[in-house]
Amino acid sequence: MRILDRYMLRSFTMVFLWCLGMFVIIAVISDIFSYIDKIVTYRIPIASIVAFYVFYAPALIIQVVPIAVLIGTIYILGDLNKHNEIIAMKASGVSLWRIIGPLLMVGTIISGIVFIVNDRVVPTSSRIAQIIRKDELEKHKSTGGTPKIIENVAVYGSGNKLIFARTYDAGRKTLEDIIIHRHDKHLNLISKTTAKQGRWDGKQWIFYDTITYTVDNSGRILGEPQFDAERTMDIEERPSDFIKREWRSEFMSYRELKRYIENFKGSGIKLLRTLEVELHYKISFVFISLIIILIASPFALITTRGGIIVGVGMGIAIGLLYYGTIAVSLALGKLGPFPALVSAWLPNLLFACLGVYLINKKS
């Protein structure tokens, strides 16, 4: 590895880690101040606050990584450009692609780490953080604003049960159009129960017009289904759990979300379309840092008067435009105009092509 490569990697890493730490600290302090009145008024234990932010940290870090990559890229290339080192390297026959090679390499490494953390750590830590927030930090919050009707409720219950309902009426404490999947300890589906309605009688759930199927590991139905006009279900989750503990996509790994979509095919087109978009986005999100380097590099190399400031401004602007395009594309995918795969990957493709074009133009 050349001396220049080591210098760029060391400088980028230092700026990246500094920005990452600062953004996380600022986000945590800002969030704490939004709860400071409740923390003081209700004397929420410090241990609960610390526990929440410890488990919330992985998800927060993953979100701010691309911003730290953006600033690190602009800083290191802008600094080299300021001292005419980029011009000297290009005059020596070194291509711009070779110059930014170390950044692309570290961007690839960051993308790999993001995938592992986002797939293996974030789902569990976010789920625990959400429970702590609801049970500790927001337990005194007024429920007056809670919606009476919640659509497409999904909860991963105790005993390896996955519970889905088209609607949950918080006022009447009733579930409509229910599907319950039971899994073994290896998360293989072993039974499926459907019900027209479920009602909480104050102590337990009573389901009406139920059909229960027993299935094997391949998903084939074993024996005859069991029909019941009224049946008491052994579900430990109480009505409040269907508001507090939704089984959201960010609480799942890629494999869990894929299995979840397979299990609930036919449960609701809108829900499945949303989940399919988020499934593809779990992979496309990983490459944001790498694409940020591609689109930020050309703007960091502006050589006009005030180039560094202009480059920083334009780099940040293009980064914000990238994020905005992602948000719009995902929304179009969830609403229907875009296929799920296209909505998740189109922004990456567009801005990767833009970055490649601008870098070739600068070379």
**DSSP code of residue 154:** E
Residues 6+ apart with CB under 8 A from 280: 340, 341, 343, 344, 345
Taking only the tens place, the pLDDT of each residue in 233-249 is: 888 888 877 765 556 77
Higher-pLDDT residue of 34 and 259 is 34
Taking only the tens place, the pLDDT of each residue in 308-336 is: 666 667 777 888 899 999 999 999 998 88
Residue 17 lies in a domain: yes
Chain-centroid distance, C-alpha 326 = 13
Residue 272 lies in a domain: no
Same domain, 38 and 134: yes
Give residue 45's identity as a one-letter amino acid code: P
Predicted pLDDT of residue 196:
94
Residue 287: count of CB within 10 angstroms of its CB = 19
> Strand, helix or coil at 152?
strand
Predicted pLDDT of residue 302:
67
Domain boundary among 204, 221, 236: 236
Residue 89 lies in a domain: yes
| Residue 142 reports pLDDT greater than 50 | no
| Residue 355 reports pLDDT greater than 70 | yes
**Tally of domains within the chain:** 2
DSSP conformation letters of 169-230? ETTTTEEEEEEEEEE-TT--EEEEEEEEEEEE-SSSEEEEEEEEEEE-TTS-EEEEEEEEEE
| Residue 286 reports pLDDT greater than 50 | yes
Same domain, 31 and 99: yes
- Mean of the per-residue pLDDT values for the chain? 85
Residue 246 lies in a domain: no
Domain with 196, as residue range(s), is 159-236
Residue 306 binned pLDDT confidence (cut-offs 50, 70, 90)? low
Domain boundary among 236, 263, 291: 236
Predicted pLDDT of residue 147:
54
Q: Which of 84-88, 113-117, 129-133, 185-189 has the lowest mean pLDDT?
A: 185-189
Q: How far is CA 218 from CA 73, 125, 186, 262, in A?
A: 49, 31, 13, 13
- Distance of alpha carbon 14 from alpha carbon 192, whole angstroms: 52
Higher-pLDDT residue of 208 and 82 is 208
Same domain, 124 and 166: no
Same domain, 44 and 106: yes
Same domain, 215 and 182: yes
Predicted pLDDT of residue 320:
86
Residue 69 lies in a domain: yes
